[in-house]
Chains A and B, each alone.
Chain A
């Protein structure tokens, strides 16, 4: 342990080297591998696959024959995804602070906006692949389940509504990402996400049922509510506008504020 061989005995001054800037594609690749190579990250990703498989098997086993159809399978695999993907997004951001890896990350790349940007691309990429895989697992379950039950295979989900589920899951992930940037602590951001996803809908639902002025405006204000519509039906143009408005309030503005804070904050 005590000795080390140092191979070069080079001259005292070295020729000046010119370095290329780090390309964004490389940063995205590094961020993707950082999402996989921790134990927590690995199990989160693995659990999204496992959950999709379990949900599919459960649907095969328990769904009534006459109700077997891709809609059921997509719904079954979609729910665990909508919980796990935001967690993946949160940890991709917050581990830099909670695990203090930011000390290295932000010295190797002293532009925090670029680091966060590549995390965003990596997160959405991993999310898209996960959702596609889940859909594929669901499709496989639909084929196998229908043939076991001896009923014709039903594809009762339009491409349009599949795209909307995709969008809704991506927005959930972005919400997790935003909370991660705003709170910058794994535990805090995860709690924050569950407040957003579980506590707030109940509270705002109650408010809407008692207060007409809120009920008539909920779509414009309540992002979770507007995103929930995506799972349900193809939105009207008014609902798209509501999604945009509430998204501005819940996603775009907090993300901008969070980015501004991240760029100014001290990393230690």
Chain B
């Protein structure tokens, strides 16, 4: 439903978004993942016409955003929950969206209820809202027009664990009903639970994309042994690249069978052997985006020399 083709944004000489192409499909949650400054927000602003692209196009249901007659009814957008007039109440802010879209007044109360803002909270000025409350209000604004597409920039920021869980369920249900959700985050954990597809961006470029299942399958194997250093040495001895993590786990790109075989041959007792799943994805995320990280630290204390 969202199609981004070769989007590029250059600020004077700095290229913030570089030839980015991906799509977000109906019925799926697409996670847009990347470290701070990777270009997620810039890409999303270009999708909704707030920033003019240097080149490339973004379309929603085949049309440019500016060509949507009443965009709020087709695309729910939350780019920055803090970007609200501090002197308005939550209810007033929702009311502006409701009136602009030409919706019945009752939608405001429905939405307040949906995002669990109480009547008393709705009468408070946004100045006195916590970031989590602002996110809820922003979600309400995005959902009020009952759109088929959602574009949310880091919506989980500032939410408490229960709030994150709530948001996840909400987005899941939204996608299950046929909506397309594009959701950005700089935290893998936050996104991998809910996303069906992942688009990973680093330094303005797409570094990986695909279904979460595919990306996880490529994530390798994780093993724990009572003598982890020996396991790592044994693997390296067999010519297998591996990483010894700080928590004593060993990760490698080869399959579980090969790791088990080598452990057996070396007489090392394994206590855990499984697909690396999120740990692997995390590592992959850090690797893929390493050049764009401002801190060059890696999650492992020791990296394979091989």
Contact = CB atoms under 8 A, between A and B. Distances in A.
A8 interface: yes
B85 A3 contact: no
A103 B101 contact: no
Contacts of A268: 41, 45, 50-51, 80
Interface in B26-83: 26-27, 41, 45, 48-52, 65-66, 68-74, 77, 79-80, 82-83
A236 B2 CA distance: 61
At the interface, is chain A mostly helix, strand, loop or mixed?
Answer: loop
Contacts of A101: 83-85
A30 B96 contact: yes
B86 interface: yes
A211 B79 CA distance: 55
A24 B51 CA distance: 24
B166 interface: yes
Interface in A83-111: 95, 99-104, 106-111
A103 B79 contact: yes
Interface string A23-50: 0001101100110011111000000000
B8 interface: no
Nearest to B46: A266
A267 B166 contact: no
A238 interface: no
Interface stretch (A9-17, A131-139, A166-174, A188-196): A9-17
Interface string A211-239: 00000000000000000000000000000
Contacts of A110: 48-49, 65-66, 68, 71
A6 B77 CA distance: 19
B165 interface: yes
B100 A11 contact: no
User: Chain A interface: which size bin?
Assistant: 35 or more
A6 B70 contact: no
A6 B170 contact: yes
Interface in B106-155: 114-116, 125, 141, 148
Contact of B178 (A13, A20, A34): A13
Contacts of B49: 106-107, 110
B273 interface: no
7 shortest interchain CB distances as A-B pairs: A100-B83, A2-B162, A38-B87, A21-B69, A39-B87, A103-B83, A267-B50
26 contacts: A2-B165, A2-B166, A4-B170, A6-B170, A12-B27, A12-B177, A14-B148, A19-B70, A19-B73, A20-B69, A20-B102, A26-B102, A33-B99, A34-B96, A41-B87, A101-B85, A104-B97, A107-B48, A107-B71, A108-B101, A110-B49, A110-B68, A111-B66, A267-B51, A268-B50, A268-B80
Interface of A: 1-4, 6, 8-14, 17, 19-22, 26-27, 29-30, 33-34, 37-41, 95, 99-104, 106-111, 264, 266-268
